[in-house]
């Protein structure tokens, strides 16, 4: 019987075999190696020393999760907190700007094609270039952000409109905020990331808007529905499959974000401080700057498990929307 099955499916199996071997080599083998490495006391860089690294079981996991005096543990928990906030703000901002941009360019107006092209500009810039560019823009004294925010005219307008009071030093000079250190660091990372990725959401929402039949809006208008009512009761519900995909893309991309932080704070995952450190730069520094590969592999393994759970929860939440879409 087995010989008959092999004879019947021999050709298809031979065609599928390279893809299966590729998946095993590129996915399964690295995952297994990472799990093994997470149980070794590996703090050396050569392959020979890695092969002879002592087995320590779950000691690396204990050090990360339960060692209260461990700086590695404290740094990881700071990175987890920052990554959660970063993911929420970036994903939410990307969705809001994406919907707004899509609604604007979905209308018929002269120069619509040019407007759509120009709005994609930030999306085509490589993320590591975005990190370098905004790193210069956030400089305290010479950065263009502070130059624009603290222009004399802008200061007078903001002071009179929203009652903001600025701090001055002993000789009367304005103290400009530091964006790359302290509590402002997270915003210095969130804003460039939203700027980089919101055109992608706009394109997705634009495709979703184009698929909604105009007859639905015409029928709603005849029934007396206002534009705001049409948006909340027609547009948003019909865009839920698109929102689901953007949320998934945002969760994965932002949790694994690396390039913008690494270039903004120094090539090679520079340290942005406790208020701006993210998971991937933290894992990178532990693995390739501190040479603690066992701890880095343990962090990566735990992150992989957590992300699998997050994706499962996402699928349960949006399963109905995806099947209807």
Q: How confident is the model over 17-75, as pLDDT tens digits?
A: 888 898 888 888 888 988 988 888 877 665 566 667 888 888 989 989 888 788 888 88
CATH class of the structural domain 70-138+179-324: mainly alpha
- Tens digits of residue pLDDT in 284-295: 888 888 888 888
| CB count in 10 Å sphere of residue 203 | 18
Burial of 170 (0-12, 13-18, 19+ CB in 10 A): exposed
- Tens digits of residue pLDDT in 159-204: 555 444 556 666 666 677 788 888 888 999 999 999 999 999 999 9
pTM of the model: 0.86
Q: Which residue has the tokens 């998971």?
A: 279
Pairwise CA distance, residues 37 & 25, whole Å: 17
Pairwise CA distance, residues 137 & 265, whole Å: 13
Residues 86-113 as b/e (b if ≥16 CB within 10 A, e otherwise) read bbebbbebbbebbbebbeebbeeeeeee
3-state secondary structure of 26: helix
Percent of the chain predicted with pLDDT > 90:
34
Joined together, the tokens standing for residue 1 give 């019987």
**Statement: residue 244 has pLDDT above 90:** yes
Q: What is the mean pLDDT of the chain?
A: 84
- Tens digits of residue pLDDT in 291-318: 888 888 999 999 999 999 999 999 988 8
Pairwise CA distance, residues 16 & 18, whole Å: 6
């Amino acid at each position: 019987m087995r010989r008959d099955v092999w004879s019947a499916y021999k050709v298809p199996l031979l065609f599928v075999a390279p893809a299966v071997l590729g998946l095993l080599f590129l996915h399964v083998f690295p995952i297994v190696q990472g799990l093994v490495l997470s149980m070794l006391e590996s703090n050396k860089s050569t392959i020979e020393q890695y092969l002879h690294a002592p087995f320590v079981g779950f000691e690396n996991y204990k050090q990360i999760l339960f060692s209260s005096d461990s700086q590695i543990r404290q740094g990881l928990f700071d990175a987890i907190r920052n990554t959660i906030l970063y993911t929420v703000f970036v994903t939410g901002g990307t969705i809001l700007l994406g919907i707004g941009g899509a609604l604007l360019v979905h209308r018929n107006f002269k120069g619509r094609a040019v407007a759509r092209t120009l709005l994609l500009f930030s999306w085509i810039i490589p993320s590591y270039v975005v990190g370098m560019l905004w790193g210069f823009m956030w400089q305290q004294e010479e950065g263009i952000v502070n130059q624009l925010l603290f222009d004399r005219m802008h200061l007078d307008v903001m002071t009179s409109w929203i009652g903001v009071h600025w701090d001055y030093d002993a000789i009367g000079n304005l103290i400009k905020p530091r964006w790359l250190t302290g509590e402002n660091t997270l915003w210095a990372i969130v804003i460039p990331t939203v700027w980089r990725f919101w055109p992608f959401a706009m394109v997705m929402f634009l495709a979703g808007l184009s698929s909604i039949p105009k007859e639905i809006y015409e029928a709603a208008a005849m029934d007396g529905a206002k534009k705001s009512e049409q948006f909340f009761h027609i547009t948003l519900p019909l865009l839920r499959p698109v929102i689901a995909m953007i949320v998934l893309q945002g969760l994965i991309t932002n949790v694994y974000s690396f390039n913008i932080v690494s270039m903004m704070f120094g090539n090679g995952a520079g340290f942005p401080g406790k208020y701006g450190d993210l998971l991937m730069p933290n894992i990178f520094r532990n693995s390739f700057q501190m040479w603690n590969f066992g701890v880095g592999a343990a962090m990566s393994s735990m992150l992989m498990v957590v992300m699998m759970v997050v994706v499962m929860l996402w699928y349960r939440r949006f399963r109905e929307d995806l099947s209807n879409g």
